[in-house]
Structure 1
């Protein structure tokens, strides 16, 4: 009797507190079936159809379905991920037992890159609920205030909606998404971790934490950087992200598991009859009412499980929300007749909305690294893993992931005179570099120039990082990586057929601008100087790649073009820019020329941030280096998108998360943070919670 009464009391107490996501967002795998559709039986229509159940898509699904009167469907091309839950949940499996290269990965490949000696490069992307947040390297870094405010400025359409993308609002949104888990005193001391709690959230769905195990070489990172002139940053999350530090990771320290969009925003939810999530459902087309040719209305979304499967359809009552990522969202638009006219016609797609910017402005971080032998005296995760033993299979050891980071600005990289010379060369090359842009549409070219000017005027001449340095100790060697952060090279994504099951052509245009080659080369030189600096030099053996045969600029240039690859942060294909500059979405994320379609994912960033915006995957070139993602900013982008959408349907001109909001966020399904819910909405939720409590109480009495 007493256990039943106690259970009833606890359940009532929990729901009377606001029906929030349960404590610590522990993996409650039994909850997942409440919203997951496994037999394909969905409703005929939904208010919102979300295309893509990845990082951003699941945030949107969770937030929009907080209103019980709003119906939401998520269509995800990949599987649920239940079969590989352990692989996904254990952080270090991103190195040792990754799902990259399996059916849970899109396994894209770029076109041959002239700047890389006509090489192709792999572009893994998560094809599973949670998207790339389920398979990435779990770095959590934030862009700088300078970059975010530049985004707001370039995206401004004259309305106050652009305020959603300024630093104050975006900073609050980033804090809302997270729960900060401080490292233990021992780990913080050994690894040299510094942080400012006031820059972090306390009740958000995604955990910002640190591994439960570390190594002395990690603790040498910031001191070694200081010895080559790169200062230590004690609050990299607060808007000034440059310098050296140990980054946070998306780790739930309560159980040492990956914290990602599914585990944070979906799995812990109480039952929601208004939310359905359908895996193995590739969206094949958005169908439009074309009666108003200048403002098409999406009426239904078609989807199929395979190219051989007959397409099914679901009706749209309010909006289609594209969250397929930089590749998927652009591809869906083009397949549906929205995009560059010449590309659509060549692919056999009827042009419904000629929008030249779709698939254009493609940018990506590019990286490679110097590899060193691991001396017997140096302890690394890779060496311990190779040696075997019980401990390397423990949750504590498997919580270790790489996180030593630095962002170096142009002056720190080249010195004042060198930085001035590069900036001058970049500005002089601006107009001539336009010839390297794949589109010759005047608007797209104007957008390229606008992005170019922001990069040279606001980023190159400021403290903003142009090179990222990373330490990797999880492979067969030790690697110090360098990655360019604001490339002047741009490419594009385009379709060659009307089928979503045919992969698009991905041409990022790597290193087609000479300044990119210069910055990449100098970043690698700095990585070498770092490897020669104390105290980290005492942990390193011989440099095995590129080795002592690469010293001159020409030797570096030749080597790096054969060694660099993606850092897995593509963006820009659905850029938030004015339409006259090849933009695809406005500041409200609405696609130009479409009445009820928005894009809410990393594809809308008009330029790269000095941050991990999404995915960082395993690269087996020299040693294990996981994929990354534009994670922290993209969680915030999705939160802002949900707030804008809800405000729109509540009849409010603009409401987004702001600095005046409770920016610690909410770990629950009923947070009022930035959502501008009406009092009637709150009343409905309270009523439904009361009903649930009553049912629970009756169940407790029956159990007696």
Structure 2
């Protein structure tokens, strides 16, 4: 049961205090309390949100964003290199709507379960983290993965066999393929093959290059979302050594200096007033890439000039806090389907009567709410377009020309990027969405659409996240520096050309009536760049703001996820990845929590 404030204050102290009950926080809490001698308190600013059908119902993409019950309403600062991206578009596509309440972002994401490119994870090790490679990730992932294969993976055409043997099957997080038809995914696969993108060889074993179908965090028995709350909290909430307090906004970590080292002694938080609870062993920050650096800064850990500006005494001048921020971003192209196309799309739900009918069907395990986003292609530059390799080679030449002007931190990052360019990493991503989700032209009532999300996963631009006040309720400033490196924009232009070529290829061409967005009036590269600047979207995968790297190249935490200069403060969430990777990050966040649990319990 979720505790009351009086319960927490009566206990007064806990071995471990975890800040944030999201994907990593609840996973870590469950693992630590497997040892009955450990007492754990989890502080969560949001509400409980247990057994909420709005969270549990699949195919409800984006419906939680902007709702204060489910998500934090973050904003992006004005962008120098993409000013219209903030001035003229719907802000929430750029500002990451991170999850609020038990389960965090795993409760509101689009449920797509992907594993990253193996070489991308090996880059963690190359950035100064011995042992943090794909083999290590694979072992960790199999601990939480509970893959349930389809009843007949050979239907249709063996397209659902990619996960066989490559995913764990005994973990608490249920993974499966939603049962709705995959006809549109098969048509997309055939069109991709005609454009040089074949089926990925081993997408769950580290080779993501190509097209593949991925399972979702979908329980095939209940046809509901599975996430950290259902997998790790609910089965374990009766443990007497696990305490979870919701509605608790953390103000700062309370510290003192012991033998020259900053040591956490407790956590200050707001819950109808100001309170402090004691940490006997550790404080673990799991607040996400936007809030974790802010909490460190409010606690006096960060760049000296930032701390002085917000009036917080400096405990540790740690230059990497809130720096090296990296994001995935996208634009989306939508195509209206011909009237005789029989395949269901999410557009059906725009009709209130039809939506009500499908709510009833969902109870029986049928209908549109049993569909998922499962069609993915990770694409190498030469398959995107003839110009794409040139874009990357020009970026490489620019980096080398300006090498001496870069900081050691940026040089370390760009060394990895240069290697990725040379090995032709599949850094461009195309996702099939069965429904309209693009801008600016609205859908026509009664029509069906497909949308291609065209994503950049290895962005060269680097952003920042810093507190602007010592008030914990005031959001930090998030400046992703979109398009600071021009190649990030240029590759998006080429990806639009690729999406259009795909739509003109049979069998997709045979079912498409017209392009809705960006539309026939957007043709030249300059017009495309303007459209992208206006309607750029964030993939809501912000990371790297508390990077796991050596301190001398901008690291905030070591390989054990301990904050440099402290004895017992760790960060465990997407903020600790040192460089972005080609994949949706959910699997890596769970793996980071498993890694932290092993380190803390001495089992690493």
2:429 matches 1:468? yes
Q: Distance in 2 between matches of 1:462 and 1:207?
A: 34
Q: State how 1:53-452 maps to structure 2 within 5 Å.
A: 53-82=21-50, 85-95=52-62, 97-98=63-64, 100-120=66-86, 121-156=94-129, 162-163=130-131, 165-185=132-152, 188-189=155-156, 192-233=159-200, 235-269=202-236, 271-293=238-260, 295-305=261-271, 309-378=272-341, 379-387=343-351, 388-389=353-354, 391-393=357-359, 394-395=361-362, 396-397=366-367, 398-415=369-386, 419=389, 422-430=392-400, 432=402, 445-452=407-414
The aligned residue for residue 565 of structure 1 is 537
2:558 matches 1:586? yes
Q: Per-residue CA shift, 1:360-405, capped at 9, x if unaligned? A: 0011001011122233223332233245446521223212122211
Q: Is the 8 A contact 1:88 1:258 kept in 2?
A: yes
Unaligned stretches of 5+ residues in structure 1: 1-32, 157-161, 436-441, 614-630, 648-654, 657-704
Q: Distance in 2 between matches of 1:481 and 1:90?
A: 22
Q: Is the 8 A contact 1:304 1:311 kept in 2?
A: yes
Residue 218 of structure 1 deviates from its aligned partner by 2.2
- Tell me the secondary structure at the aligned position of residue 481 of structure 1: strand
- Tell me the secondary structure at the aligned position of residue 218 of structure 1: helix
Q: 1:314 to 1:343 in 2, by over 3 A?
A: same
- What TM-score comes out, normalization by structure 2 length? 0.91
Q: Distance in 1 between matches of 2:252 and 2:401?
A: 38
Q: Distance in 2 between matches of 1:485 and 1:71?
A: 39
Q: Distance in 1 between matches of 2:535 and 2:161?
A: 33
Residue 333 of structure 1 deviates from its aligned partner by 0.1
Residue 431 of structure 1 deviates from its aligned partner by 6.0
- Tell me the secondary structure at the aligned position of residue 94 of structure 1: coil
Q: Distance in 1 between matches of 2:330 and 2:125?
A: 27
Q: 1:78 to 1:434 in 2, by over 3 A?
A: farther
Q: Distance in 2 between matches of 1:41 and 1:373?
A: 56
- Tell me the secondary structure at the aligned position of residue 289 of structure 1: strand
Q: Is the 8 A contact 1:230 1:243 kept in 2?
A: yes
Please say which of residues 138-147 and 227-236 is displaced more in the overlay.
Answer: 227-236
Q: 1:291 to 1:257 in 2, by over 3 A?
A: same
2:602 matches 1:634? no
The aligned residue for residue 90 of structure 2 is none
Residue 452 of structure 1 deviates from its aligned partner by 1.4
Tell me which of 519, 536, 539 is aligned to 2:511: 539
Q: State how 1:691-702 maps to structure 2 within 5 Å.
A: none
Q: Distance in 2 between matches of 1:526 and 1:304?
A: 50
Residue 66 of structure 1 deviates from its aligned partner by 0.4
Q: 1:607 to 1:431 in 2, by over 3 A?
A: farther
Q: Distance in 1 between matches of 2:543 and 2:326?
A: 6
Residue 332 of structure 1 deviates from its aligned partner by 0.3
Residue 582 of structure 1 deviates from its aligned partner by 1.1
Residue 275 of structure 1 deviates from its aligned partner by 0.7
Greater Rg, structure 1 or structure 2? 1
Q: Is the 8 A contact 1:300 1:314 kept in 2?
A: yes
Please say which of residues 309-318 and 58-67 is displaced more in the overlay.
Answer: 309-318
The aligned residue for residue 439 of structure 2 is none
Unaligned stretches of 5+ residues in structure 2: 87-93, 437-442, 444-448
Please say which of residues 324-333 and 196-205 is displaced more in the overlay.
Answer: 196-205
The aligned residue for residue 440 of structure 2 is none
The aligned residue for residue 524 of structure 1 is 496
Q: 1:193 to 1:632 in 2, by over 3 A?
A: same
Q: Is the 8 A contact 2:82 2:482 kept in 1?
A: yes
Q: Which has the higher helix share?
A: 1
Residue 585 of structure 1 deviates from its aligned partner by 0.5
Q: How many corresponding residue pairs? A: 576
Q: Is the 8 A contact 2:95 2:540 kept in 1?
A: no
- Tell me the secondary structure at the aligned position of residue 25 of structure 2: helix
Residue 39 of structure 1 deviates from its aligned partner by 4.7
Residue 528 of structure 1 deviates from its aligned partner by 1.2
Residue 598 of structure 1 deviates from its aligned partner by 0.7
2:483 matches 1:511? yes
Residue 553 of structure 1 deviates from its aligned partner by 2.2
Residue 187 of structure 1 deviates from its aligned partner by 9.0
